[in-house]
Structure 1
């Protein structure tokens, strides 16, 4: 894969490098999927496949090259008790090598590779790649601005299309929710809104729909992990939206004492 031209802004160069790493992981995932799946169970009974492990191994090597010295908190390493503990003050990467393993095992193809860079507790760079459905999202917040893109599977950012959240309307909201993990709290939030359309899909693709203005709100009150959220959070933030706790407070990252658990969040489009 070609690298980003050096004439591009530094934030786009870094996004392109991270996107390139995700695209390489996506190729590995699709190859293993085509060869046939051998599904195991982790200690929490969630599924894991050879694709999860191979993707994470590749991403660790790529990220060490792109951002040397930046700690990586990745799902499978944490599950094996090998996670790094950088604390919340510095910079670190949150990686889900295969988000939506149930969708990966099934037929929908709605699984993603998620890479989020967190600085001072805030996600500032995010890559969400859905290799089976041909969608790559990239977003960054940087000194003086922010930018978010929809890239298809194109590694060259010269061909990426800028995207933006749309202002959230008071009525006729488009909501996106999890297909595999419905929960009563999320249903209660949606029941209290004037929802004109509801989209159900898997993995971090839901953040992408908010970021590109196809959906207005993505609530999730069930418990997830930081690597499920950080990349999408960075993407939505870069596109002009927000991701917060259900009570409106900031979503924390690097919470080793909570095993990197996130007890609910709401992603929204831009303020009207």
Structure 2
């Protein structure tokens, strides 16, 4: 993995989150991007902070960031680059339920090798990296508290599935029938990956549109916690998908995030 210290990425997320909360508490207007998805001033303000800080931390590593991409500012990427979603869960931000996150991930050869997910309204920070493990910590008054190692849990007889609060689908309900599911949790943003990573849920299937910046940081945390994210045909979800004739750059296929890796090859009889 790149020698970018994970703790420095958490501090960048912390700074962006502080700006988001200033706007969240002061009030904001809502606009629409070209794809009709909502955007607020917090998205742009947080991304500006993250881009400036990453430029100082890793000036030679390109950054693919959601709001910049929406404006056509897309850097050339090689084997190593950052993926940034400055405010994942804009609908959660607008509805004021707190389930929105700052996402920063480092990609190497298509693999998310480091990631930070920060939920500023909830005061929760998650991070993880390849060969580094995964962690969570509370954040109080802008200060990261005592960190705790996290890991996925062994799958119980009745699974807990987690899914999108804003983008649910009948396809997801049908897909889950392959398993014995005892509970379903609705949650917003990349927190879904983190709930699986900390052992609060077992499965997160997504049959809906996502982009790489939506998933990379949470994917990195989950992989570092022992989990797995695959496409529906069982291939690891990859990053840096560009130049395809049949799909937009950086668009993800449908995927499933697993806690216990055995779930990826087992189904209810």
TM-score, normalised relative to structure 2: 0.91
Aligned residue for 2:256, secondary structure, equals strand
Structure 2 partner of 1:31: 22
Structure 2 partner of 1:162: 149
Structure 2 partner of 1:222: 208
Q: Quote how far apart the aligned CAs of 1:107 are.
A: 2.2
Aligned residues: 257
Structure 1 partner of 2:177: 191
Q: Quote how far apart the aligned CAs of 1:13 are.
A: 7.5
Structure 1 partner of 2:67: 76
1:99/1:111 contact within 8 Å kept: yes
Cα pair distance change 1:119/1:190, threshold 3 Å? same
Q: 2: distance between equivalents of 1:158 and 1:262?
A: 34
Q: Quote how far apart the aligned CAs of 1:11 are.
A: 8.4
Question: Does residue 1:248 correspond to 2:238, yes or no?
Answer: no
Question: Does residue 1:265 correspond to 2:252, yes or no?
Answer: no
Q: 2: distance between equivalents of 1:92 and 1:17?
A: 16
Any unmatched runs of 5+ in structure 2?
A: 263-269
2:209/2:253 contact within 8 Å kept: yes
Structure 1 partner of 2:132: 146
1:147/1:162 contact within 8 Å kept: yes
CA RMSD of aligned residues (A): 1.9
Aligned residue for 1:262, secondary structure, equals coil
Aligned residue for 1:199, secondary structure, equals strand
Q: Quote how far apart the aligned CAs of 1:251 are.
A: 1.4
Cα pair distance change 1:116/1:13, threshold 3 Å? closer
Q: Quote how far apart the aligned CAs of 1:157 are.
A: 7.6
Q: 2: distance between equivalents of 1:65 and 1:163?
A: 30
2:138/2:144 contact within 8 Å kept: no
Once the two structures are superposed, residues 91-110 of structure 1 have per-residue CA deviations (whole angstroms, 9 ceiling, x without a partner) of 00000000000000012110
2:90/2:100 contact within 8 Å kept: yes
Q: 2: distance between equivalents of 1:175 and 1:204?
A: 14
Once the two structures are superposed, residues 133-157 of structure 1 have per-residue CA deviations (whole angstroms, 9 ceiling, x without a partner) of 111000010xxx3310011127888
| 1:35-46 superposed matches below 5 A | 35-46=26-37
2:137/2:145 contact within 8 Å kept: no
Of 91, 111, 115, the match for 1:122: 111
Any unmatched runs of 5+ in structure 1?
A: 1-9
Q: 1: distance between equivalents of 2:233 and 2:171?
A: 13
Structure 2 partner of 1:113: 102
Q: 1: distance between equivalents of 2:231 and 2:93?
A: 28
